[in-house]
Structures are given as structure tokens and as C-alpha cells.
Structure 1
Amino acid sequence: MHQRAHTEEKPYSCNVCDKSFARSNSLVVHQRAHTGEKPYQCDNCGKTFTQSSHLMAHLRTHAGEKPYSCNICGTSFTHSETLKIHLQMHTKEKP
């Protein structure tokens, strides 16, 4: 399976939109976009997610965790994507 990352082989195809994946688990997660399945639920607020990693990131909002810090001004963020957007403010880059 590791070699597929180098060969770009993607033997797992979605039967709805024909998108292909190197790993079967990636196909399973993708198919949730079509079915609307969100098997991971937050015990605090009930919000549901398609991936466990998205639930884990969400849980940081309840815990007040902000592990991503700007190395320019020190502002901290809950999500890495929010930090990336913030950094564009310092560099004046457009998203």
C-alpha cells in the first residue's frame, strides 16, 4: 500500500462520482459526503462529524485549547487552518 503513494495508483473508486483513492479507508470517509453519515458525535454539544479527527479538533473548542500560535505576534488558535489564514494578514497574501 505504501508504494501506491509513489505510483499514484488509486484502485478504490467511488460509485457515485468516480473519484478514486489509494486507500480503502479514504473511500469510506469520502462516501460519507454522499450519504450524509456523520458517525462521530460530540458529547458536549451533540454536533456530528464525518471523521474522528474532525471531532477531536472540535473538542479543543470546548476545552479552550489553542495549540497553534503565530510566531510573529503570538496570537493562538484552536485550528491550524485559522492560523494559516491569520498568517496571511502578516504577509499580505491573498487566500
Structure 2
Amino acid sequence: CRQCGKCFTQRTQLVTHQRVHTGEWPYPCGDCGKRFGDKSRLTIHRRIHTSDRPFPCPTCSKGFRQKIALPFSCSECGKGFAQKAQLAVHHRIHTGERPFSC
């Protein structure tokens, strides 16, 4: 990228990245008007409106909007996390635990 020096292996990745600098968001959502710099992000976003969850968890069959799922979920509120450590930190909200003093 001539603007910031970031390198890409494919020209299409560079073109998509350059939209960060130009402010071009050519893919609008037909439901809410939110705009995206590439078509794949619009596709993922559209699943919010359709409730489409095409990627089932192999363990529990819960569906997700993206392949990158959140396999660690809070037993209290159901919020999902990508890493077990993130879940442990979140769980403190429910327990009131504050392991670090001021």
C-alpha cells in the first residue's frame, strides 16, 4: 500500500485495504444501510437480519454466522468467547471476583 506500506499477497486484498484510506464502502446492506468495504463482510452482516447461522458446532450443533465461532460460552448469560481465558475474565462479572487491588 502506497499510503501506509502494508503488504499483501494478492492484489484484491490490496484493493480492499485501500478503501480504509479512501473511505470507499461500496457494499451497502439493503436492510439497514450499513456499508462495507468488501462483499464477504456484507454477507456475514446480512445474517443478522436473516438469522441465518450456517455453521453448526460439531459438539453441540449450535449454529454460528461465521466459521470462526465462539466455542466458550458463559453458563450464566450465554455470551460466547474465542478463548477460555476470556471466558474466565468475563465470569468475574457474575461472581463479583476482583483479583487485583488498586
The TM-score with structure 1 as length reference comes to 0.69
* C-alpha RMSD of the superposition: 2.1
Q: Which has the higher contact order (CA 8 A, sep 6+)?
A: 1
Question: Hey, what does 1:20 align to over in structure 2?
Answer: 7
Kept after mapping to 2: 8 A contact 1:39/1:49: yes
State the shift of 1:29 in Å: 0.5
Please tell me the residue identity of whatever aligns with 1:60: R
Contiguous gaps of at least 5 residues in structure 1 = 1-13
Alpha-carbon distance in structure 1 between the residues aligned to 2:28 and 2:47 = 14
Alpha-carbon distance in structure 2 between the residues aligned to 1:64 and 1:54 = 16
Alpha-carbon distance in structure 2 between the residues aligned to 1:57 and 1:22 = 23
Question: Hey, what does 1:73 align to over in structure 2?
Answer: 60
Deviation >3 Å, runs of 4+: 92-95
State the shift of 1:58 in Å: 1.3
The TM-score with structure 2 as length reference comes to 0.65
Alpha-carbon distance in structure 2 between the residues aligned to 1:93 and 1:63 = 29
Alpha-carbon distance in structure 2 between the residues aligned to 1:79 and 1:61 = 11
State the shift of 1:65 in Å: 0.8
Kept after mapping to 2: 8 A contact 1:88/1:94: no
Larger radius of gyration: 2
Contiguous gaps of at least 5 residues in structure 2 = 74-82, 87-102
User: Where do 1:27-42 residues align within 5 Å?
Assistant: 27-42=14-29
Kept after mapping to 2: 8 A contact 1:68/1:78: yes
Q: Give the 3-state SS of the residue equivalent to 1:66 in structure 2.
A: coil
State the shift of 1:88 in Å: 4.0
Kept after mapping to 2: 8 A contact 1:32/1:38: yes
Whether 2:13 is the aligned partner of 1:58: answer: no
